[in-house]
Structure 1
């Protein structure tokens, strides 16, 4: 395999409570990338960790001149941490990956080869089920991607990961996106360019536990669907039209019953009907409310993240240690 040594690779790694994984991950990446001849930099984004992740990053930044850290003022979420890291990357290609070592560093070599062969984006997707995932995570993952593919305008493989390589020209376009609740896995698919996906088998976490809870997964699913399609609005509109039509067809029955003297029986059916349509109205209003809420938050133009500290300063598109 032949590499071009005059190219630089930026690796962006969001980190949340990963104190015991940082040093080992850096060692694995150095063993993988140093023989390639590429210049490379490791950009860690501390996303509001409550352990000693930041201290580990500072120590490694002192030991290695190509290790940089960005400390966010609080936990803004993984996608915003990715955005912060990508904003500071200026390599010929940017690789994003998790800090828990479930994304095997050795797969980067295959990504680089495909990139050198002309692909602008090389993304990864999980091959089969995650052998190390919890039961509810396996179920929710399948439901998430099926729902996303059905209700949104993008199509993604089951288990698509945040482990990917992005060419510099794509990165420049990503930096221009100013979107509330950005979902990078969807944005990458939406962006187009020449893409290829490669399967991988997740490794076991080196240490620690996954921080994504079930409520966070539900929020991610809803936010991802409404971010890429207005199809849910069309669906609830069709539901409303369907039941409105049924209500119109119910009028002849009421008139015939009235003129023929049939008594309207019971109140239970009336209460059930009111409760059903009341619930349906609340459902429709909640879907509309999600979209209105996103418009409201987008209109505030708040920064997507706040940097508390960093050893990075960008001067003339170069990294300067501070």
Structure 2
């Protein structure tokens, strides 16, 4: 009998955890040909998330939980869950029930047909503002045009991964993580299914515009060097325009005797060029900062507790789990 792990990262989700558990259980109890593991990753929650997970585990032995030592962010929480997941396949879904557990049987059906990555693409995005939908669409459009990797548009983390896809992702230990791009980067046989994304079942979203902008920067800097090339191209164009303008000024002064305009035009050019230089330095700084973080080679996370037991071995833990 095959085992399927359902991986659910959770950060301050006390209002929705029990509802998430019951809806998921109602689905998997009908799939009698499989064993299931419900693996929750508590990402340093400050509410009662951990105590609720412990209570659920006492009622149901199929529940496992990983309690991280602090809040590391969802991207790191997912790789922590993949390190601990024991299943032949892993289903990733959010605790807020925007990813409906009722799709799990369909994910499994295509997995059994030989697909390694069965991902759910959003047909609609209820509960999200028009601004978030617009910026999301534009981000995916820019990312698609600037990278050679076919990034999946309108696709989140909700998917089923075969064990070999999970093991491939576990080898990517970079600290600056954009997992949605990594799903595409590893390749393997992929299958798309469509679904209507529901609003949150309860609680408030942890993704605000500042965190979404940071995630977008992570995605762009992780999978393309187009901003660096763009800054170089802009520099060449500005330099060429400046050279041509210089020839025009010299020619008009020597041949026509025109006076060269002074302070206003000079300040405009200086401020414009200064802005371009600062923008280029900022782009270089983003990439340099990521290189600096990667060279530290720090562990991605530390685990405080796994299934009611304090974790003592914390060095290279991911290498010894399996």
TM above 0.5:
yes
The one-character-per-residue Cα deviations of 1:85-109 (angstroms, maximum 9, x if unpaired) are 0000121101110001111101011
Q: Which runs of 5+ in 1 are unaligned?
A: 1-5
The residue correspondences of 1:163-182 to structure 2 (distance < 5 A) are: 163-182=158-177
Give the superposition deviation at 1:33: 1.2
Separation (CA, whole Å) in 2 of partners of 1:48 and 1:139: 31
Structure 1 stretch displaced more, 288-297 or 140-149: 140-149
Structure 1 stretch displaced more, 185-194 or 133-142: 133-142
The residue correspondences of 1:178-193 to structure 2 (distance < 5 A) are: 178-193=173-188
Which residue pairs with 1:102 in the alignment? 98
Which residue pairs with 1:112 in the alignment? 108
Instruction: Answer whether contact 2:152 2:184 (CA < 8 A) is retained.
Output: no
Quick check: 1:152 aligned with 2:147?
yes
Instruction: Answer whether contact 2:3 2:34 (CA < 8 A) is retained.
Output: yes
The one-character-per-residue Cα deviations of 1:230-286 (angstroms, maximum 9, x if unpaired) are 111111111111111112222322321342332112311111111111101111111
| Displacement over 4 Å in runs of 4+ | 316-319
Which residue pairs with 2:13 in the alignment? 18
Q: Which runs of 5+ in 2 are unaligned?
A: 312-316
Which residue pairs with 1:210 in the alignment? 205
The residue correspondences of 1:59-70 to structure 2 (distance < 5 A) are: 59-70=55-66
Structure 1 stretch displaced more, 260-269 or 231-240: 260-269
Quick check: 1:306 aligned with 2:298?
no
Separation (CA, whole Å) in 2 of partners of 1:160 and 1:275: 41
Give the superposition deviation at 1:317: 8.3
Separation (CA, whole Å) in 2 of partners of 1:279 and 1:76: 34
Separation (CA, whole Å) in 1 of partners of 2:202 and 2:213: 25
Give the superposition deviation at 1:140: 2.4
TM-score normalised by L of structure 2? 0.92
Instruction: Answer whether contact 2:83 2:321 (CA < 8 A) is retained.
Output: no
Which residue pairs with 1:262 in the alignment? 258
Q: What count of residue pairs does the alignment treat as equivalent?
A: 312
Instruction: Answer whether contact 1:48 1:74 (CA < 8 A) is retained.
Output: yes
Which residue pairs with 2:133 in the alignment? 138
Separation (CA, whole Å) in 2 of partners of 1:270 and 1:186: 45
Alignment CA distance shift 1:231-1:208 (3 Å): same
Instruction: Answer whether contact 1:148 1:155 (CA < 8 A) is retained.
Output: no
Separation (CA, whole Å) in 2 of partners of 1:75 and 1:20: 18
Which residue pairs with 1:3 in the alignment? none
